[in-house]
Amino acid sequence: MSNTQFDLKTKVIHSCHIEVIYEDNHLLILSKPACVPTVPDSSGDISLLDWGRMYLKETRGKPGRVFLGVVHRLDRPVSGIVCFAITSKAASRLSEQLRTHMMTKTYLAMTMGRPPSRGGVLEHMLKKDRARNIVRICDEDMGGKLSRASWRLLGTQHGVSLLELRPTTGRPHQLRVQCASMGCPLLGDIKYGARDPLPDLSIGLHAYRIRLLHPTRSQWLDLSSLPHESGAWGLCRGLIT
């Protein structure tokens, strides 16, 4: 990619209002806009990882290629908090926290219709069809992996329900499939049952809170970033606090 191409795409991604939630010598935690890829993909669009490297290079005067470790990811149409590691030590320790469920994430979801109750636990065996990039509920003997998330209804407004979701596993498309399993597909998520796409091709899912142990200090970080009440999220204005 030439410098000219890179500069043009940099301007585009800057217009997406990426927010720095937290940073120090070990962590860079960003709020990803919907429809920006977490890591580079076949589209060639500048990713959140690219932006983070540029940010560190510009703000800290780092020479050469900047290391930034990917700890976890969000699907392209999903917005919200993403944690990156600035050092290899932090990357290793944060990955272990994710594996052992010490790191926890909480999501907001806008769904079509109303769920069958005010809360509970969703538990399914899920399997990804990589060729079609779709996840289905199946039996364990068909290769399904256990997927679990707790949820509660925050309210319903304008025919849209706002849910809080707390996954305890991190399967691909997990929350998207599990919301659809209740008969409440995410707003705009036509892959899993929504009637219509949203104008910006996002879906109604936002990672709004993360809790983790700092990788080098005995300090818990509890960070949050609410979705912008523009576009579809304006439908839940008043329910988001």
Among residues 41, 45, 75, 141, which one is catalytic?
75
Q: How open is the CA angle 5-11-17, to the nearest 5 degrees?
A: 145
Beta bridge partners, 106, equal 209
CB neighbour burial string for 101-127, b if at least 16 within 10 angstroms, e if fewer: eebebbbbbbbbeebeeeeeebebbbb
Measured between alpha carbons, how far is 97 from 91 in angstroms, rounded to an integer?
10
Q: Is 75 an annotated catalytic residue?
A: yes
> What token pair was written down for 220?
């818990």
**Cα 173 from chain centre:** 10
Contact 82, 51 (CB under 8 A): no
Which sequence positions are flagged as catalytic?
75
